[in-house]
Structure 1
Amino acid sequence: MAKNINKIKSTIPSWNLSDLYSGVNDARIERDLKNWLKRAIRFEKQYKGKINSPNLKAEKLAKALIGLEEISEQSSKPGYFAQLVFAADANETTRAFVKKIEEKTTEISKHLLFFDLELADLPEAAIKRFLKAPELKKYAHFVKVVRSFKRHKLSEAEEKIIADKDLTGASAFARLFEELTSNAKYDIAKGGKKQILNQSRILALLYSPDRESRRKAADSLSRGLKQNAKFHAFIYNTLVQDKAIEDRLRQYSYPQQARHLANEVSKEVVETIVGVCDRNRGLVSDYYALKRKILGYKELHDYDRYAPITAAEKKVGFEEAKDIILESFGKFSPEMAEIAQKFFDDGWIDAQPRDGKRGGAFCSFVTADLHPYVFLNFLGSRRDVMTLGHELGHAIHAWLARPKGYFSLGAPLVLCETASVFGEMLVFDALKNSATSPKEKVSLLCGKIEDIFASSFRQIIMYEFESEAHKTRGEKGELAVEAINDFWLRANRKMFGKSVRLGDDYKYWWMYIPHFIHTPFYVYAYSFGELLTLSLYAKYQKEGNAFIPKYLRLLEAGGSESPSRILSSFDIDISKREFWQGGMDVLKKMIEEAKANYKTVKR
């Protein structure tokens, strides 16, 4: 196993960040930060007190927005670079570098704070007049979004205090979490010898075909998390309370409100998605009853959830994964394949697993005048192939949205997962269609069903866990480790029912999930994206080539319109329960397909 992984690892790329900077000691970083600080100060002198003014003209507002976008975009590059180098290798040098860049970019941003405040305070009549002007068309949605936060903005002086305090508050605790997880080591006995693995490697063993290896990996992960449980609980308590204080200052009525507003979706839409997932929880028990039969177990444990159906899965080399992705993307749209090819050719992917590198996967959009970067830990499984397809879906979304500019580059979080899940579905279909036996199809289907569970039901469970933790922290004060553990275990048992036995130590597993730390209540966006994309994929299979231009226009829109407006070309009403049930119906068909193929295998 180790030899196979080392062989695969030798061909796996690490990224080239030179389009940003050559390294943490690149002299251009300091030069750029000084330059954009000067530009921000000049911008402040030029426009402060003149945006919320009866003398403001559309031409002047457009010029100001162009200048603001340029300063915001260019001054963000050192920050993106710092985040990327720290994710790739968390050590003392990169930690200090991140801190230095955060402090300097915060200083720049403080000179720009006035703009949003003045823009939000402009009279509605003036805004309506300005948004009709052709020179402001590009920024119309950006202006609307800024103004949607009007009642939650503080004074300029207060906003500056919060920006400064975040450096030693929320931001510092989030970075401490990253250090804990990136540098965590887990011991496990393999082949009579003790091995020390990082978090990515120990989590990968939960997908091992050997049940004892999975059990040992689960025990090792639990032990490691338990050792740092007090630290994780302290970090989480601090961040939850920090958010509660800021929510109170900004007059948010409930903990999730800021996230809903940023996502441009209503509380009612989110509750509809939660309700649909709750009503369809029986699919989880139904599927795991099938998996228990396939594996021949009397009972499934938490460490069996991701057990592969086949005894041994053939490892996939990175070059083979690249070919699979490019071919599957190309069959859908040659343009998508051409864009993905750039990421392989130009070193915009870091897929090599190594110590010090954070776990998980992400795509950083960076800026509209550059290109995104893709990050993952590729260990050669078919799931890793689909993860690579998932992150390249994000990358294509950002690439196509670049003409919209920096302010509209990123779609609201609820649409962010659309392109990624769609890309993953294209890769999954390619793998399934190339399967040579019903047994292989069952294996692929089961893996994909479990991934959909993880992106839909599990994310809603995590959303409910967060909701309970934030609510209880606000009512009762600091939460003990056991209280948070109890929220986690209870929420997960709701999902699995009696189909999977969750061991007592599973209660610690909330501790390694970064979304709780960096982006509270982000997780429901995955459910939104998963169910939306399943419905869109069903439309593609029905409409064929006629669907493709509409889909690419969706990606090209970036964040230039609201989710409901962007989806209107597909005749989708996200407020309707029936629409979200359509995604669940696709999942149900996949489970039935897995059952049918399993019957064939049994014969």
Structure 2
Amino acid sequence: MPLNQYRQNWDLEVIFPGGSRSIALEEHLKNLENGMSILENNKATCLSTIDTAPEILAKMIESLTDIKPGISQASSFAACLIAQNPKDHGALDVQGKIAAVNSRYESILQKVQLRMAKIPQVVWDRLMSSEKLKIHHFLLNEWRNQAGNLLGDRVEQVAAALSPDGYLAWGQFYQQLSSGMKITIGKKDYSVGQAINFRAHPDESVRKEAHEALEAACRKKEDLFAKTINHLAGFRLQLNKMQGINSTLDPALLDNRLSPATLEAMWFAVSRSKPAFTAYLNEKARLLGSGKLDAFNFWAPLGSTESIFSYDEAADFILKHFGRFGPEMESFARNAFQEGWIEAEDRPGKAGHAFCAGFPQSGESRIFLTFGGRMPNMLALAHELGHAFHNHAMRPVHPLHRYYPLCIAETASTFSELLIIDGALDKAADAKEKLFLLDEKLKRSVMNFMNIHSRFLFEKRFYEERADGFVPAPRLNNLMADAIEEAYQGSLASPSVRSWIWTPHYYLTKSPYYNFPYTFGYLFSISLYGIWKERGKSFELDYMNLLRDSGRMDVEDLVKKHTGEDITSEQFWEKGLRLCVKDVADFLKLSK
């Protein structure tokens, strides 16, 4: 195989040539603004007659459809520019312009929702019986039901709060602040993303130095980060109060189309299984020569069997095992590698977190990460390709039905990870290599069942305290320490109490609780993985159909339709957990 077969830098030029100074992008933004102006000029007539005939409502929906994908296209482009170069001030300016257009869009959408809520049920039922609106039944009923949480005549106030100079500005400030951090390790400066990659370094002294350097860098700026997270949360709490929302968890559940019963059943089942994973952590600590596992050793590879992959080797391995699942996934991933969809180069100055950005108008995705050559990097690459494959599966779906909840998005990504880690286990040469790989797999279980739980607990308690006033950095550190202690059941030493700083999910402006969906996706993907093991490649079509339905059904109904399972039951979650607990048993047996 030739070296450097696959490019490690993405191609953004085919989307909007010229970066943040792109003439095509400028024209795109002008078209969006013109489209919004036309929609705003016509909204009064449409809103006053929306209940008179199905074609009026259908026309309004199509007007919204014409604009939303364009907003997403430009927003993803700006996010990619900022990730590759956080100092791209032009991209930040573009991001602000897109936010302004989106604010106008959301304002009109909310007015449409409020108007729908006022339509008498008998008239609404008549509208919904029309063939013109049949395709949109789920979405329209969801919009109508959501209107109870909207602000009526105070929509404009919310739009102002969400403007580039308000709520969203703090999210942008976090991106700049975190991307500009320099973590000094071995007399060399690294980005946050590069420093985090050192967690999997084979040398314990390097892992410890990187851990302490990251904590020290965060300590220096913790007051700035505390101010940022407090202002973000303060905005959110004010908006919730205006909307009559009592719990910050409610919008997250609504966004994920999940019931509280499902979340409670999942966390209850997870908590009951934790003793097994505590046993794994304690055994790993013993193997590493300590009584309790240090946080900087959690990602440590066991033994000397870890392989270092070139980017090409990782790509070929992923393609092989995606091909075992089905031809569509393999073909899709090959195209992503060959057509410059992935930014993977290990260099300073990049943003610190991996992500996948969808471009709905061009039917493409872009993947961003820092590839360091180790198994966690290959799994992160597979994870983001899973997100991109979900976007690919949604291409035939109506543009307004492509917006699926995060918990299902994380299903596709973690399913892809499982294909890779189990592929590596299948070809393990001996017990030592299998132990190493089981450790890698179990890290994912612990991350989802313990680490994600600690993030959930921290965020819940932070918002409870923030409602009473500003929460200073020392208190945030204490909240993080307590959440980690509880979630890990006391099995982790020297935890990163400032992980609230370098965890970007707390600073996202769209929705709080960007954590529990990962656990949902992980456990649900294990169930789907079990189905694939039974059916083989014929399952790929069923899998894609499930993904395609993910933007037009409540998750409970989606899972019921495609698997026959009730996810409000603890028994459903226990099925996946039993498979994970078996991994622990295999690990403990091999480690003796």
Contact 1:8 1:317 in 2 (8 A): no
Q: Who is 1:20 aligned against?
A: 15
Displacement after TM superposition at 1:369 (Å): 4.5
Q: What pairs with 1:294-373 in structure 2 (closer than 5 Å)?
A: 294-311=287-304, 313-367=306-360, 369-373=362-366
Counterpart of 2:476, as a letter, is I
| 1:43 positional shift | 2.4
The answer to whether the 8 A contact 1:200-1:377 is kept is yes
- Measure how far apart 1:380 and its partner are: 0.8
**Are 2:176 and 1:179 equivalent residues in the alignment?**
yes
Cα offset for 1:227? 0.4
Name the SS for the 1:149 alignment partner. helix
Deviations 1:564-599 (A, max 9, x none): 222122011110000011121111011112223334
Q: Structure 1 residue 110: deviation in Å? A: 4.6
Q: In 2, Cα distance between the equivalents of 1:27 and 1:111?
A: 28
Structure 1 residue corresponding to 2:472, chosen from 463, 469, 480: 480
The answer to whether residue 553 in structure 2 is matched with residue 557 in structure 1 is no
Q: Which residue of 1 aligns with 2:499?
A: 509
Question: How big is the shift at 1:112?
Answer: 5.3
In 2, Cα distance between equivalents of 1:142 and 1:43? 20
In structure 1, C-alpha distance between the alignment counterparts of 2:111 and 2:573, rounded to whole Å: 40
1:129 to 126, 129, 137: 126
TM-aligned CA distance change 1:77 to 1:436, over 3 Å: same
Q: What SS does the corresponding residue of 1:168 show, helix, strand or coil?
A: coil
Moved more, 221-230 or 341-350: 341-350
**CA drift at 1:102:** 2.9
1:197 aligned residue (179, 183, 190): 190
Q: Which amino acid aligns with 2:40?
A: E
**Structure 2 counterpart of 1:69:** 65
Over aligned residue pairs, what C-alpha RMSD do you find? 2.1
Write the deviation string for residues 290-310 of structure 1: whole angstroms up to 9, x where unpaired: 212322334321211111102
Contact 1:32 1:75 in 2 (8 A): no
Aligned-pair CA distance for 1:197: 1.2
Task: Give me the identity figure in percent.
Answer: 25
Query: Which residue identity lines up with residue 291 of structure 1 in the other structure?
Result: K
Q: 1:9 deviation in Å?
A: 9.3
Q: Is the 8 A contact 1:58 1:133 kept in 2?
A: yes
Contact 1:50 1:56 in 2 (8 A): no
Pick the aligned partner of 1:29 from 18, 25, 29: 25
Supply the distance in 1 between the matched residues of 2:479 and 2:84 (Cα, whole angstroms).
32
1:537 match: 529
Partner Cα separation in structure 2 for residue 304 and residue 208 of structure 1: 9
Output the amino acid matched with 2:532.
Answer: Y
Whole-Å Cα distance in 1 between the matches of residues 504 and 4 of structure 2?
25
- Tell me which residue corresponds to 1:151: 148
What residue number does 2:254 align with?
A: 261
Indicate conservation of the 8 Å contact 1:40/1:112, yes or no.
no
Distance 1:162 1:328, change over 3 A: same
Cα contact 2:113–2:146 (8 A) shared by 1: no
Q: 2:217 aligns with which of 209, 220, 224?
A: 224
Judged with a 3 Å threshold, the aligned counterparts in structure 2 of structure 1 residues 485 and 8 are, in CA distance, closer, same or farther, namely farther
CA shift in 2, pair 1:66/1:578, >3 Å? same
Say whether the 8 Å CA contact 2:454–2:487 is kept in structure 1.
yes
Instruction: Report the residue type matching 1:148 in the other structure.
Output: N
AA in 2 matched with 1:514: P
What CA distance in whole angstroms lies between the structure 2 residues aligned with 1:126 and 1:53?
12
Q: Which residue of 383, 387, 396 maps to 1:394? A: 387
What residue identity is the alignment partner of 1:85? L
Question: Which 10-residue stretch deviates more, 421-430 or 292-301?
Answer: 292-301
Show the counterpart of 1:3: none
Q: Post-superposition shift, 1:316?
A: 0.6
TM-aligned CA deviation for residue 198 of structure 1: 1.0
What's the CA shift for 1:334? 0.5
Bigger shift: residues 288-297 or 229-238: 288-297
SS at match of 1:48: helix
TM-score by length of 2: 0.94
SS at match of 1:410: coil
What is the count of residue pairs matched by the alignment? 585
**8 Å contact from structure 1 (residues 8, 379) kept in 2:** no
> SS of the counterpart of 2:419?
helix
Deviation at 1:358, TM superposition (A): 0.8
Q: CA deviation at 1:103?
A: 3.4
**Secondary structure of the corresponding residue to residue 301 of structure 2:** coil
Any idea what the Cα deviations from partners look like across 1:190-239, whole Å, max 9, x if unmatched? xxxx1111111111111112111111111101100000100111111111
- What's the counterpart of residue 116 of structure 1? 113
Q: 1:307 to 1:467 in 2, by over 3 A?
A: same
The 5 Å alignment of 1:96-107 reads: 96-107=93-104
Structure 2 residue 454 is matched with structure 1 residue 464: no
Letter in 1 for 2:126: R
The alpha-carbon distance between structure 1 residues 270 and 109, as it changes in their structure 2 partners (threshold 3 A), is: closer
| Offset of residue 21 of structure 1 | 0.6
Amino acid at match of 1:185: K
Name the CA shift for 1:370/1:121 in 2 (closer, same or farther; >3 Å). Answer: farther
Describe the superposition over 1:29-61 as per-residue Cα deviations: whole angstroms up to 9, x where unpaired.
222222222222222333434345475212232
Check 1:266–1:184 CA distance in 2 against 1; reply closer, same or farther (3 A cut): same
Query: Contact 1:386–1:424 at 8 Å: present in 2 too?
Result: yes
Q: Does 1:57 align with 2:53?
A: yes
> Residues of 1 paired with 2:145 and 2:55: CA distance?
23
Gap change, CA 1:186 and 1:277, over 3 Å in 2: same
**Corresponding position of 1:86:** 82
- Per-residue displacement from partner, 1:120-155 (whole Å, max 9, x unpaired)? 433333332223322223222221221221111113
In structure 1, distance between residues paired with 2:20 and 2:460: 39
Mark the CA change 1:40 to 1:498 in structure 2 (over 3 Å): closer, same or farther.
closer
Residue-by-residue CA offset, 1:252-294 (whole Å, 9 max, x unaligned): 1211111111111112211222222222221221101221232
Structure 1 residues 79, 547: closer, same or farther in 2, change over 3 A?
closer
Retained in 1: the 8 A contact 2:25–2:74? yes
**Which digits, 9 at most, give the CA deviation of each residue in 1:356-399, with x for residues without a partner?**
21112111123155222111111111111111111111111111
Bigger Cα displacement from structure 2, 458-467 vs 308-317: 308-317
Shift of 1:477: 1.0
Matching residue's letter, 1:159: V
Match of 1:521 among 506, 513, 522: 513
User: 3-state SS of the aligned residue for 2:359?
Assistant: coil
Once residues 420 and 236 of structure 1 are traced to their aligned partners in structure 2, the CA distance between those partners, rounded to angstroms, is 27
Cα distance 1:124–1:377, how it changes in 2: closer, same or farther (>3 A)? farther
2:41 is paired with a residue whose SS is helix
* Structure 2: runs of 5+ lacking an equivalent: none
Q: Distance in 1 between matches of 2:521 and 2:96?
A: 33
Query: 2:206 — aligned with what?
Result: 213
Out of 295-304 and 174-183, give the one that drifted further: 295-304
Does structure 1 conserve the Cα–Cα contact (< 8 Å) formed by 2:453 and 2:516?
A: yes
Secondary structure of the residue aligned to 1:281 is: helix
Q: Measured at CA, do residues 53 and 99 of structure 1 come closer, stay the same or move farther in structure 2, by a change above 3 Å?
A: closer
Q: 2:481 aligns with which of 485, 489, 508?
A: 489
Report the 3-state secondary structure (helix = DSSP H, G, I; strand = E; otherwise coil) of the residue aligned with 2:46.
Answer: coil
Matching residue's letter, 2:547: L
Residue of structure 2 in register with 1:285 after alignment:
278
**In the alignment, which residue of structure 1 is the partner of 2:567?**
574
The equivalent position to 2:448 in structure 1, one of 426, 446, 455, is 455
Distance 2:40 2:110 in 1: 9
SS at match of 2:171: helix
Would the aligned equivalents of 1:37 and 1:108 in 2 still touch at CA under 8 Å?
no
